Structure 1
Amino acid sequence: RGHPGEFFLTDSEAGYFLKYIVPRLRHLGFDLNLPKWYKGPEDIQEVTLRGHVTEAPGKSTSAFSLERPLEFRWEVAVGGKPLSPVEIRRLIQVGPGLVRLPRGLVYLKHEDVEALQPIVDRGLKSKVKVRDAMRYALLRELSVDGIPVQDVSFKGRISELVGRLEEKREFQILPQPKGFVGELRPYQVRGFSWLVFMTESGLGACLADDMGLGKTIQTLALLQHRWEQGKRRPVLLVCPTSVVQNWKKEAQRFTPDLPVLIHHGSDRDRTEAFVETASKQALVVSSYSLLHRDQRLLKKVDWAGVVLDEAQNIKNPNTKQARAARKLEGDFRLALTGTPVENNVGELWSIMEFLNPGWLGSHRSFRMNFWKPIEKKGDKKAADRLRRLVRPFILRREKTDKSIISDLPEKLEMKVYCNLTKEQGALYETVLRDLERRLDESSGMKRRGVILAALTRLKQICNHPAQFLRDDSTLDGRSGKLTRLVEMLDEILTVGDSALVFTQFAEMGQMLQKYLSETFGKEVLYLHGGVPRKRRDKMIAAFQKKDGPPIFVLSLKAGGLGVNLTRASHVFHFDRWWNPA
């Protein structure tokens, strides 16, 4: 049985009791004798630490960067209304507990007093960085000088940036550049406009559209826009060796006014003259293989921006090319990839570290905070937190998205230009010299036959030296066309898509089937003229299944007629068919 007794409370304990304990006791049915001035917990207010962020003087026209300083002004509020410096000092003097101010009772905690003193000492002013403001916008987390902030307001251009990151404000949709040849589709106009917004804001951006949605032309539209705006400093674009020439041809097709320089091959300029030549270009295209090798030379150029095509090539942050990419300096950085994450979320860190250094923390802290919780434990909160952190910097559209697919033509065609390897080039030259000799020795129909035979041999060399030589030699690393096919198929398989690969040569089809099967560790079907009808039907049925083999190699004659393969979302013509007539 209870006995009456008493105990004393400190000012701080009394404030906590009246604010939080009294409501619980009343809920349990206790009768309480309380001071007459006490009307209820709702009349006891608490201190709120708020902040106002503006740009530092003299920085209102330059692009943002994550490390850029911003002005931060503290506001100490009670009941939503700011306190005067005199009232703040009184709170500090009285200390933790209940404090009576003209506006009413305030419950001041120990941590409030500890936070208020340094705030007053600094004159209610401090500094934060753009990265801090952005993290608050995305995660609602901000700590200034070790003091947690409960609410933040933004003013000026930083307010616009934060509003767009929070998706409360739309970025401006721009008209297509006048010098761009062709017509961008609506989703491509939006992508190009987003790239302009991100680059002008000084933020790294990743365009991660599905293959075939036009990452190349959206990037070229960005470069054309900058050129027309009078921004004439060069942009460095790094890509796999197999697509170097493709970028040049696409630029010639869609942005013919832009000066483009290819920095690749054994005859590339490695002297100081390259720096001057590069400075006059809109676009300089180089390859990943040269990033580390030509690092000193490339760093001498004042780049407006650095673009990585097929950015999954730097997914391992410890490779020489990934390290070299992070050392390149420019006003902006872009990454183009259809697969920002191929195997695990750990790969995302390397791309984001290139785009916005330090945004996801150190590699070690990223592994502790995200990679291990997500990959090992399936932590949904960690996954959601990571998603919120990277979402503003990644634009991804998929062909399965109805808002995109309704916007697409019935068929998108891409010509992919591939470099010959040294072996292919040597064989090509040999056939040409032999052709010249034979043409001098022939005439009439025989001359035509010589030309057609030479064309066939040249096509075989372009496919693969092993097809031309018929020596059953290894395939890896000897054909620019095969290398590029594997790169594109890898991207397709990563997102769960399937593909058809056509060739006019039966022997090339056999080589492709074996090589692709060994490379990807998956079953690869091959349909050619020698396949019986029943087996052919079984192969088609197997491919059409949702979990069927993802790659189907077909000869043009056998696969070009009477075959319905609706599952495939990509079609490759490994070599082009031509009609001798």
Structure 2
Amino acid sequence: MAQSLFDQFRRHPITSQFAPSAKVEALRVQLCFDADGSYIRLLNERGEAVEPDYQSYSGALRNLLRALQQLHERNGFVIDWENPSAQLYLHQYDYLLDYVRHCPVVIDERQRPITFGNEPGELRLEIKSNADTGDVEKPNEQRLDARVRLLVDGLYEDDFLLINERHVLSEGRVIEVNEVGPAFNRIPLFDTSLAIADLTKYLSLALSNIDNLQVEYDDYRLLTTGTEPILAQPCLIFEKIDADQSLYVRVTQQLPQTDAGFLDEFDLYRYADINPLERTISVRIVERQPLIRLVDTVSQLIEKHTVKEKGRRKSQGQYIVEGNLFVLPEDVAGAFIYQELPQLLETFQLFGAEKLKQYRISTYPPRLNLSLSHGIDFLEGDATVSFGDQQLSLLDVIRQYNQQRYVQLSDGSHALVNETYIRKLERLFQKSKKDKVKLSFFDLPLAEDLLEGAVAEATFQKSRTFFTGFNDLSGKKPRLASVQATLRPYQERGVQWLEHLHEYHLNGCLADDMGLGKTLQTITLLSRFYPKETLPTLVVMPKSLLFNWQKEVERFNPNLFTYTYYADHRDLEEACQHHLIFTTYALLRNDIEKFREREFFYVILDESQNIKNVQSQASRAVVLLQAKHRLALSGTPIENNLSELYSLFRFLNPAMFGSVDQFSHNYLIPIQKHNDPDVINELRKKIYPFLLRRLKKNVLTELPDKIEQVLYIEMSDAQRRFYEQRRLFYKENIERQIAEKGLEQSQFFVFQAFNELRQIASIPEAKSDGRIESPKIETLVEQLTDAAANGHKMLVFVNYLAALERIGEQLDLQGIDYVSMSGSTRDRQRLVERFQTDPTCKVFLMTLKTGAPGLT
């Protein structure tokens, strides 16, 4: 048995061109690239290619040479027509790179030395707007520039070459990246310019071909986990009618924002679902129905019109099937269109309907006609839809479509109407009395899109002055109230926008980025009306902002008298003798019965995301307040869910969206469940006049770009053992709980597991009675010490109170002055002022929950 073991490892005789050399030359390993990939060349000291025998060398070089020799021997009898040069590419034999890493001398094609980096890299797809379209035929088309960049140590490197799925060569270093997949050598193709209309197709193609790719596009977030698959939509394409009057119908599937047939041409398994409202790009797995099943569905309906009653096929009326293409003779096509197509349109999308004119299918686009009179916040009257010279009431068109998927015209022809158009009519127009329709004032711009220009101008002449007025603001010279500050141009335009809403007794949300001066713009607006205005203004905010508002008013307009309704200082009668009343959401909720009896000039919600839950007590309380005007301030008007938008505008303009059920039916379900691009665009256009949002990078161009640096910290051995011990404990118990109680009743335990493991990864001291120290805090304190020595001030946000205490202890040891704020901190304004004004105070420590909302 021992002899058998040695036989297995005995070296075989050398049969190749590699032979021992009498003279052992120093070797250099060269990484080379061609159109097919990266490969290795072996050079002597004179730079000549050589093929030495591995037996003459030792160490890593010996292992590399031996592997190369074995591969050449194995492949010597194989003819590879795709690789006639017989190169050993590193993406085919990636283990060779591990040998190369430890070789003494590694060089590139220009004889420069190559090293292997220790820090991992990350490939990121960067997409930016391009002002120069470069397209003569489409001069107004917005275009984007896209390129894949390498991020290493917080810095971008653009000049890199891909070695294999996990390694790139950049600036003389081999960098390891997350595995990008077998299509790695096609990544450079994604450095291109594209029309913004093609972004969904481009990203879907990129994400389907490149694994672990991060995307940077404007302020969008890439969501790769927790997303639902997307089911491709079946569709029928009427391609043509030939000289024999035969109709060509193709069965295929389509994804939103892609062309019909796109899925047939490209192998997609990931779809980039872009949501411009929530500023997310959700990566969704593409699910397709078996094409043969869809073809069979259509085929069975066609068969009904080609078989006699006795079950024998007609001698005439034969049709042809070639894969997913049907060729229907005229008589079969007619029966199919009139009797079967309406049923198919319930599940199939339709393309090419304009080719069906000879089958008495109306090809006239629907045209909306309105005759409306003005109400308080709506218009009411008659609405009809015309197809050529045929005219029907709007309500009849909607009813017919919902019953039979087409509209029967008086001349006997059928009008095939786009479902998107019908659903838009349903959202915009409500049935009123005696077959009249009602249109909300807030939907006028959307209805205007459905009307011809001259008709729209005549119909909405009285109401459209409000909407067109926004376009005139930039041309007007601002005449603002006097405050003790010089407003930036964008702040002047913000105040003009607020005054325009005020003039028309409409309400909006100022949603500028944090730090752009929402408070200053609001104070400037109010300074226009006070002290003449007799009604007080109520400003509701989180507790942490009470003193901030006081200081800002004292700074910009000390002539405004304020009252802080808080703690024991809660005399509403006295408060109403002041111009501005400051209070918190909690106190407003508790004292709503007092507040609802008063009338206010303005009710202003700062950090208005506090009413994002439509069922919360705070959200219910604010809608009970009586005010002539309303205003919301928030840097994040929508944080997680579209229903937050409904809650915001229920406070601002209650008539905008109707009831919760109406909003859910018209917008929430189509957007969050189906990501309907038409509904998304419609909603954006509807809220656009009432929500003003500017970002720092767009209005403060003199600011430097934000630099993000990620430091990867290895766990200590003790921390890793502790983490693994608790992970295995929770894994076993979670599996048992789910088996016994189900996932629904085990969610709290799962959350507890995640929270504890997160704590161990961040602050193991808290879970080990201080026995295990955090490497993260050690690295953080080093960074803070260096920055403090260079005179910088720093903000540090933490998730856990234990981290706050531990960092504070370490800063004390280093002699670094700091302030610390948590949920139990009382005099927060004093801490903010000390950090801002005391040059010796270098660090502000705070919990995320305490420091996140609006502190300036």
Give TM-score, length-normalised by structure 1.
Answer: 0.51
Q: Could you tell me how far 1:382 is from its partner in structure 2?
A: 5.0
Deviations 1:182-219 (A, max 9, x none): 21110000111111112322322111111111000100
Read off the aligned partner of 2:379 and give its amino acid letter.
L
* Secondary structure of 2:370's aligned partner: strand
**CA pair 125-21 structure 1, distance change in 2 beyond 3 A:** closer
2:527 match: 224
Q: Which has the higher helix share?
A: 1
Matched, 1:243 2:545: yes
Q: Matched residues in 2 for 1:501 and 1:180: separation?
A: 41
CA displacement 1:249-275 (0-9 Å, x = unmatched): 3222212333333322313215xx44x
Among residues 154, 159, 162, which one is paired with 2:464 in the alignment? 159
- For residues 406-428 of structure 1, give each alpha carbon's deviation from its aligned partner in whole angstroms, at most 9, with x where no partner exists: 37799xxxxxxxxxxxxxxxxxx
Aligned to 1:51: 370
Q: Residue 528 of structure 2 aligns to a residue in which SS?
A: helix
Instruction: Provide, for residues 21-61 of structure 1, a one-character-per-residue CA deviation record: whole Å limited to 9, x for no partner.
Output: 997487xxxxx9xxxxxxx999x9898441145545xx7xx
CA distance in 2, matches of 1:72, 1:156: 16
Separation in structure 1 between the aligned mates of residue 668 and residue 785 of structure 2, nearest angstrom: 36
* Paired amino acid for 1:317: V
Provide closer, same or farther for how the CA distance between residues 321 and 407 of structure 1 changes in structure 2, counting only shifts above 3 A.
Answer: same
Bigger RCO of structures 1 and 2 (CA < 8 A, at least 6 apart) = 1
CA change 1:22–1:399 in 2 (3 A) is closer
Structure 2 residue 500 is the aligned partner of structure 1 residue 197: yes
Question: Which has the larger displacement, 519-528 or 169-178?
Answer: 519-528
Q: Which residue of 2 aligns with 1:187?
A: 490
| Residue of structure 1 equivalent to 2:799 | 517
Higher strand proportion (structure 1 or 2)? 2
**Does the aligned pair in 2 maintain the 1:23–1:41 contact within 8 Å?**
no
Q: 2:608 is matched by which residue type in structure 1?
A: A
Partner of 1:397: 694
Please show how residues 369-408 of structure 1 align to structure 2 within 5 Å. Answer: 370-371=667-668, 374=671, 380=677, 382-401=679-698, 404-406=699-701
* Contact 2:467-2:689 at 8 Å conserved across structures: no
Q: What residue is the counterpart of 1:37 in the other structure? A: none
Cα gap change, 1:187/1:500 in structure 2, threshold over 3 Å: closer, same or farther? farther
8 A Cα contact 1:208 1:339, kept in partner? yes
Q: Tell me, which stretches of 5 or more residues in structure 2 are unaligned?
A: 1-314, 318-329, 339-351, 393-407, 418-424, 426-431, 706-782, 820-831, 842-856
The one-letter code matched in structure 1 to 2:701 is S
1:577 matched residue in structure 2: 838
Contact map agreement 1:528 1:555 (CA 8 A) in 2: yes
Provide, for residues 467-504 of structure 1, a one-character-per-residue CA deviation record: whole Å limited to 9, x for no partner. Answer: xxxxxxxxxxxxxxxxxxxxxxxxxxxxxxxx999999
Residue deviations 1:374-414, cap 9 Å, x none? 5566655554444333333211111122xx0137799xxxx
Q: CA-to-partner distance for each residue in 1:536-563, whole Å, 9 max, x for gaps?
A: xxxxxxxxxxxxxxxxxx7469xxxxxx
Shift in alpha-carbon separation, 1:109–1:127, aligned structure 2, 3 A: same
Aligned to 1:102: none
> What does residue 543 of structure 1 align with?
none
Which of 611, 619, 629 is the equivalent residue of 1:322? 619
**Cα pair 1:503 1:575 within 8 Å, conserved:** no
Query: Per the alignment, in what secondary structure is the counterpart of residue 131 of structure 1?
Result: helix
Q: Helix, strand or coil for the counterpart of 1:304?
A: strand
Aligned twin of 1:310: 607
How far apart in 1 are the matches of 2:619 and 2:510? 18
Contact 2:512 2:518 in 1 (8 A): yes
Rounded Cα–Cα distance in structure 1 between residues aligned with 2:683 and 2:786: 41
Deviates more, 1:121-130 or 1:290-299: 121-130
In structure 2, the residue corresponding to 1:353 is in which secondary structure?
Answer: helix
1-structure distance, mates of 2:384, 2:662: 32
- Tell me which of 542, 558, 564 is aligned to 1:262: 564
Q: RMSD value over aligned CA atoms?
A: 5.5
- Distance in 2 separating the partners of 1:241 and 1:211: 18
Q: Look up the match of 2:555.
A: 253
What pairs up with 1:523-538 in 2 under 5 angstroms? 528=811, 530=813
Residues 173 and 292 of structure 1: CA distance in aligned 2, closer, same or farther (over 3 Å): farther
Question: Match of 1:489?
Answer: none
Decide which moves more: 571-580 or 381-390. Answer: 571-580
> Aligned residue for 2:639?
342
Q: What is the CA-CA distance between 1:281 and the residue it aligns to?
A: 3.6
2 CA distance for matches of 1:311 and 1:181? 26
For 1:216, give the aligned amino acid.
T
2:554 partner amino acid? Q
Structure 2 CA distance for aligned equivalents of residues 354 and 375 of structure 1: 22
Deviation at 1:169, TM superposition (A): 5.6
Aligned to 1:130: 441
Q: Which amino acid aligns with 1:200?
A: E
In the superposition, relative to structure 1, how do residues 235 and 184 fare at CA in structure 2: closer, same or farther (>3 Å)? same
Cα drift, residue 244 of structure 1: 1.9
Classify 1:245/1:172 alpha carbon distance in 2 versus 1 (closer, same or farther; 3 Å).
farther
Q: Which amino acid aligns with 1:131?
A: F
Cα gap change, 1:577 to 1:71, in 2 (>3 Å) = same
CA contact (8 A) 1:349 1:360 kept: yes
Q: 1:173 to 1:325 in 2, by over 3 A?
A: farther
Alignment of 1:102-141 (within 5 A): 128-133=439-444, 135-137=446-448, 140=449
SS in 2 for 1:331: strand
The aligned residue for residue 117 of structure 2 is: none
Structure 2 CA distance for aligned equivalents of residues 257 and 345 of structure 1? 40
One-letter code aligned to 2:444: A
CA distance in structure 2 between the partners assigned to 1:292 and 1:286 by the alignment: 10
When residues 407 and 284 of structure 1 are mapped into structure 2, their CA distance, relative to the original with a 3 A threshold, is: farther
In the alignment, what sits opposite 2:260? none
2:800 aligned counterpart, secondary structure? helix
If the length of structure 2 is used for normalisation, what is the TM-score?
A: 0.36
Letter in 2 for 1:345: L
CA distance in structure 2 between the aligned counterparts of 1:141 and 1:524, rounded to whole angstroms: 62
Inter-partner Cα distance in structure 1 for 2:389 and 2:496? 39
- Write the distance in 2 (CA, Å) between the matches of 1:345 and 1:217: 28
1:180–1:255 Cα contact (<8 Å) kept: yes
Percent of matched pairs sharing the same residue: 29
Q: Residue 339 of structure 1: SS of its match in structure 2?
A: coil
Secondary structure class of the residue paired with 1:226: coil
- Structure 1: gaps spanning 5 or more residues: 14-19, 27-31, 33-39, 60-67, 84-95, 100-105, 116-120, 143-149, 411-498, 533-553, 558-570
Distance 1:216 1:369 in 2: 34
Structure 1 Cα separation of the partners of residues 384 and 669 of structure 2: 39
Cα distance in 2 between the residues matched to 1:384 and 1:21? 25
Give distance in 1, aligned partners of 2:545 and 2:357.
Answer: 73
2:379 equivalent in structure 1: 70
Amino acid in the other structure paired with 1:192: V
Is the Cα contact below 8 Å between 1:52 and 1:155 reproduced in 2?
no
**Equivalences, count:** 378
Name the SS of the counterpart of 1:182 in structure 2: coil
8 Å CA contact retained: 1:207, 1:337: yes
